[in-house]
Structure 1
Amino acid sequence: MWSGNDFAPGIMNWLRRSSQPRDSPARGRALAYLVLAAVFCILSYQLVLNHESISRWAEEQGFVVIDNVVTDGDPDPEPSEPSTYAPEKELVLAAMSSSDMTWAEDLSWPVNIYRADVQPGKADLTVPVNKGNEAMVYLTYLIDRYDSLPDVTVFLHGARYQWHNDNPLYDSVVSIQNLNLDFVREAGYVNLRCSWMIGCPAELEPARYLRERPDDPNHPTATEFPDQFKILFPDMPVPELVGGGCCSQFALSREQVLQRPKSDYERFRRWLMDTKLDSGTSGRVLEYSWHMIFGKPPQHCPDPREMYCKIYGLCNMTEFELQNQWIWRGLVLPDGWPETRG
């Protein structure tokens, strides 16, 4: 069988003979160019034949050829659609130095545990000053992580079992595990409470309190809120009514956080650090401001049945189930909860 390997030496010898002077220099050069072009074409064709032979040989031996490269593994599978059930996510927990946080560390979520009563530099994560309860932790995280936020962030208090957690066990783990992250991305801001008990449909009357200045010593948040609202939201009119589920536990999408510049969160934290209000009152002012900070109207009380379905997947609840999803047990759960639940 004829091959380029047999032909090349012969053609080169013929080329040397043909380059000897015969008729004219011009004719010799033209002939030489033609011969060189023929050699180039023949060698190129041989390379193609050799490449195809190598590819066939590699496949017969069980190798894989991808983009002309022989590999010893299986070809990469076609890229799959991004999973909507394993997005980038993080927890932010407002804790104290004495808080037992092993419950959160055992979860599959990356967790940021802020020890609010520890001096800066004395803990992995802490705050500039322990003031405003969980609000200082949340704002510090938003400032520190503004340029590296996860897809979804969930903000919680440090204890696992809390009287305001919206499930029959009052269990933070249940709320986290059942949370619909797709809905968080869609809504931007999601209060983890669906029940209207405490906070909805209206908790505060800022505009009336601003006009009438009623004496209400038992509700310092209501009396202080109008003036603080004007500081926090200088471009917004003081609302007639403010309503939203208590108690400063919510989830945010990255896109919603970035709707505000970092300087806004720095300004809110500066207000919290400088205000003469006590921690309880200043924290509650922000408790009833988070939904407005993150793009919701002053009165933000979605239908509980709809929210249980969208947030936690608890759809088609009976009236009995709806009424018993969260029950008032006071501001403190019974000692030994949940083992002591009746």
Structure 2
Amino acid sequence: MSWFPYSPLTSHHGCLVPRSRVFFIYLGLAAILLLLSYQILLNRSPTVSATGAKIDEGVIAVEGEHFNPDPVQPAEKELVFAAMQASNMSWVEEHLPDWRTNIYRADAEGQDVLTVPINKGNEAMVYLTYIIDRYWTLPEVSVFLHENRYQWHVDNPLYDSVISISDLQSDFVQEVGYVSLRCAWSVGCPRELEPARYLRERPDDSHHPAAMEYPDRFMELFPRAEVPEAVGTPCCSQFALSRKKIHEQSIDYYIRLQRWLMDTELTSGISGRVLEYSWHSGSFRSRSRDPFADFWYNLVIFGKPAQYCLDQRDCYCRTYGYCNMTDTEIQNHWVWRGLTLPEGWPEPKKSNETPAQ
């Protein structure tokens, strides 16, 4: 028995079309229109961020008041710093006057300073807050950094952030979308984590707590993506993004990541490290067999392979313009000195020098 009896519905060709077929055609068209409308709303409608701000094309409403932040006009390039109230950031204005600077002081409060909704997740909270705050007024290139000028992981012989920022090739950032500020493979490459194996075997690796937490947290953050066998990327959460790359995800996506940081019971050190090894990642296979789910969920943050370690010679050339480097120059460009640079770097005290009285 047919639930939809045939009736003489005549097409413009004079053919009879079953009513059931017409019904399902209209149903399919309605579903497509609903999905398109939903995606438009996600990407374009005003959104309330996790900081309580209503964001709409450069205008923010906080506690009922509308104002233009700055007023912000999209710049060509901007720096985003994860800092604290005690951080001395004078080096930025002194040495990088051509960059617009956003210094988020994570332990500050009030509307007269850039800050975060809660001081958790280390630099990850700052990075996400900036993306949410500025989603509609992003510059062409945003560079995300830690607060100090000299840091052990900065990829040049002086460990000097001024050098790395000044030499960064913005055209390369706009070409590929996501660029780590570190080319050296020491720490992070080629394999830093083995999430799938840790998920299967559950080893006790107390020396690497982030590796133990990563598989479960990955599934929380990206529920449809298959846990990768290996994750590798240069440390240490300093990178540049193009506006186009950030806009590949809706603002709600970044709000969800920020909410995860706010709600997780993990320490800031571990939750920040989980995102450190997730920023670059993408192109994971979906655990679902639904091709529609694959379409929506295969992009994981900034869309690079789980193991994203560029050839160092090519990386230095394209990221900083240091082309034609010899093997010796590459080897000596970044040298491990430990997690703390010598006191007074880059002019450390001599071993036989007595402290000033």
Partner of 1:310: 318
Q: Select 1:232's aligned residue among 221, 226, 232.
A: 221
| Equivalence for 2:303 | 295
Deviations 1:141-162 (A, max 9, x none): 0001001100000000010000
Give the corresponding residue for 2:78.
Answer: 90
Q: Secondary structure at the match of 1:114?
A: strand
Contact 2:132–2:254 (8 Å) recurs in 1: yes
The answer on whether the counterparts of 1:120 and 1:128 sit within 8 Å (CA) in structure 2 is: no
Report whether the alignment pairs 1:320 with 2:315: no
1:341 Cα deviation after fit: 7.9
Q: Which residue of 2 aligns with 1:218?
A: 207
3-state SS of paired residue (2:226):
coil
1:69-97, Cα deviation, whole Å (9 max, x unpaired): xxxxxxxxxxxxxxxxxx70000000110
Letter in 2 for 1:151: E
1:182 counterpart letter in structure 2: D
Q: Do the aligned residues in 1 keep the contact of 2:343 with 2:349 (CA within 8 Å)?
A: no
Residue-by-residue CA offset, 1:196-254 (whole Å, 9 max, x unaligned): 00000010000011111111111100000000001111121000000000000000000
Distance 1:237 1:339 in 2: 48
Is 1:261 aligned to residue 245 of structure 2? no
The question of whether the paired residues in 2 share the 8 Å contact of 1:89 and 1:152 is answered with yes
Instruction: Summarize the alignment of residues 39-78 of structure 1 with structure 2, pairs less than 5 Å apart.
Output: none
Q: Normalization by structure 1: what TM-score?
A: 0.73
Task: Quote the Cα distance in structure 1 between the aligned partners of 2:228 and 2:218.
Answer: 9
Q: What are the equivalent positions in structure 2 for 1:111-190 lying under 5 Å apart?
A: 111-121=101-111, 123-190=112-179
> In the alignment, what sits opposite 1:277?
266
1:120 CA drift (Å): 3.9
Counterpart of 1:200 (choices 189, 206, 214) is: 189
What do residues 57-116 of structure 1 show as CA deviations (whole Å, max 9, x unaligned)? Answer: xxxxxxxxxxxxxxxxxxxxxxxxxxxxxx700000001101000111221100000001
Find the counterpart in structure 2 of residue 244 from structure 1.
233
Query: How many angstroms apart in 2 are the aligned matches of 1:331 and 1:338?
Result: 15
Structure with greater proportional helix content = 1
- Across the aligned residues of Structure 1 and Structure 2, the Cα RMSD in angstroms comes to 1.1
Quick one: which amino acid aligns to residue 230 of structure 1?
A: M
Partner of 2:344: 336
Q: Given that residues 146 and 238 in structure 2 are in contact (C-alpha distance below 8 angstroms), is that contact kept between their aligned partners in structure 1?
A: yes
One-letter code of the match for 1:186?
E
Q: Match of 2:82, as an amino acid?
A: A
User: What TM-score do the two structures reach when normalised by structure 2?
Assistant: 0.70
Mapped to 1, the partners of 2:327 and 2:200 lie a distance apart of 41
CA distance in 2, matches of 1:105, 1:225: 37
- Quick one: distance in 1 between partners of 2:347 and 2:126? 30
Whole-angstrom CA distance in 1 between matches of 2:140 and 2:326 = 33
Q: Matched residues in 2 for 1:184 and 1:153: separation?
A: 9
Aligned to 1:67: none
The one-letter amino acid paired with 1:226 is P
Identity of aligned residues (%): 65
SS at match of 2:310: coil
Secondary structure in 1 matching 2:244: helix
- C-alpha distance in 1, partners of 2:314/2:110? 42
Change (3 A) 1:321 1:233: same
Secondary structure in structure 1 of the residue aligned to 2:256:
helix
User: In structure 2, how many angstroms separate the alpha carbons of the residues matched to 1:313 and 1:235?
Assistant: 39
* Poorly superposed stretches of 4+, deviation over 3 Å: none
Q: Distance in 2 between matches of 1:141 and 1:306?
A: 30
Structure whose alpha-carbon radius of gyration is higher = 1
Matches of 1:109 and 1:272, distance apart in 2: 29
Contact 1:201 1:243 in 2 (8 A): yes
Deviations 1:246-268 (A, max 9, x none): 00000000000000011110000
Matched residues, number? 255
* Structure 1 segments unaligned to the other structure (5+ residues): 1-86
User: How big is the shift at 1:119?
Assistant: 2.0
Whether the 8 Å contact between 2:103 and 2:114 is mirrored in structure 1 is yes
